[in-house]
Amino acid sequence: MKALDRGWVVCPKPRPSAAVQLFCFPNAGAGGSAYRGWADRCHPELEITWVLIPGRDGRMGKNPYTNIHELVPGLLDALQVSVDRNFVFYGHSLGAKIAFEAARELRRRGHAGPSHLFVGACHAPQLPWPYPAVHLLEDGQFIHEMQTRYGGIPIQVIKDAELRALLIPLLKEDVRLVETYHYRPEPPLDCAITAFGGSADNTVDRSAIEAWQHQTRNNFRFHIVPGDHFFVQSARDRLLATIAAELLLPSPGLAVHQ
């Protein structure tokens, strides 16, 4: 495992000869390890790199950011020195908005952005957030609302007071990033965008994901994959195969590693 600049990014399985770096941005409540196993299953011309948000994985104890626009500059300082070839982004749910704003921040700085932006389980950024805010609720109400809306909080976290005390505040900080996000109009990106939706995801409807097409002046594609809001793991192989196909990587490598 290779730790890259400033603790923001980790490469679990370095592939210095791979053609493309794939930076993976996690959903709320997850660390970069949400993508555990991707490096073992992806196309050999992809190098997987996890983006680590403060408070996750090896960054426990770091002060969390209060909004996405505050977070992105520090992230970009690390990304700019970690990129050494063609690169692309995949962001899931909250991670999709962070990846999108990271791409726009690169453009503002006059740097080359990702050649492709992949997003999953996320409303297009220009759309208003459709749900009541919950990050300020007391823990019991917060857990109830999150389980009703998304599910996904492990039962052991709900039942174990110590785990709740450790993890629920971190999840609330991530949810605050979602709920306080303010879209700032800018021209569409030059890179292509591919968006994914879960076939059983009841929290993000198809039209909200298809609206990502307005954020690119390049090609846009939309794919439905099996799974609920957290298909990032359950549909991992489908996602990786589609990413490889969209990037036109050599066909012999489209089969995932065994």
Q: Are residues 109 and 15 in the same domain?
A: yes
Domain boundary among 180, 195, 218: 180
Catalytic residue annotation: 93
Three-state DSSP at 142 gives helix
Q: Are 81 and 109 a contacting pair, CB within 8 Å?
A: no
Q: Are 89 and 117 a contacting pair, CB within 8 Å?
A: yes
Q: Are residues 203 and 141 in the same domain?
A: no
Residue 137 falls inside a structural domain: yes
Three-state DSSP at 15 gives coil
User: Taking Cα atoms as reference points, which of 61, 46, 53 lies closest to residue 32?
Assistant: 53
Residue 200 falls inside a structural domain: yes
Q: Are residues 84 and 155 in the same domain?
A: no
Three-state DSSP at 144 gives helix
Structure token digits, residue 147: 């389980």
Please, what is the Cα angle at 103 between 134 and 83, to 5 degrees? 120
Residue 258 falls inside a structural domain: no
CB hemisphere CA count around 96 (13 angstroms): 22
Q: Are residues 13 and 68 in the same domain?
A: yes
Span 24-77, pLDDT tens digits: 999 988 888 789 899 999 999 999 999 988 755 554 445 567 899 999 998 998
Mean pLDDT for 218-229 is 97
pLDDT at 56: 57
**DSSP assignments along 103-139, one per residue:** HHHHHHTT----SEEEEES---TTSPP-S---TTS-H
- Rounded distance between C-alpha atoms, residue 112 and residue 233, angstroms: 29
Q: Are residues 154 and 191 in the same domain?
A: no
Q: Are residues 43 and 81 in the same domain?
A: yes
Span 94-117, pLDDT tens digits: 999 999 999 999 999 999 999 999
Span 12-21, pLDDT tens digits: 999 999 999 9
Q: Are residues 121 and 137 in the same domain?
A: no
Q: pLDDT above 70 covers what percent of the chain? A: 91
Domain boundary among 180, 196, 218: 180
- CATH at residue 245: 3.40.50.1820
Q: Are 100 and 125 a contacting pair, CB within 8 Å?
A: yes
Domains held by the chain: number: 2
What domain range is 137 assigned to? 130-180
Residue 136 falls inside a structural domain: yes
Those residues with Cβ within 8 angstroms of residue 257's Cβ, 6 or more apart along the chain or in another chain: 40, 41, 42, 44
Q: Are residues 47 and 78 in the same domain?
A: yes
Structure token digits, residue 80: 């700019």
Q: Are residues 122 and 135 in the same domain?
A: no
Q: Are residues 219 and 112 in the same domain?
A: yes
Three-state DSSP at 154 gives coil
Q: Are residues 207 and 143 in the same domain?
A: no
Q: Are residues 83 and 166 in the same domain?
A: no
Domain boundary among 180, 195, 222: 180
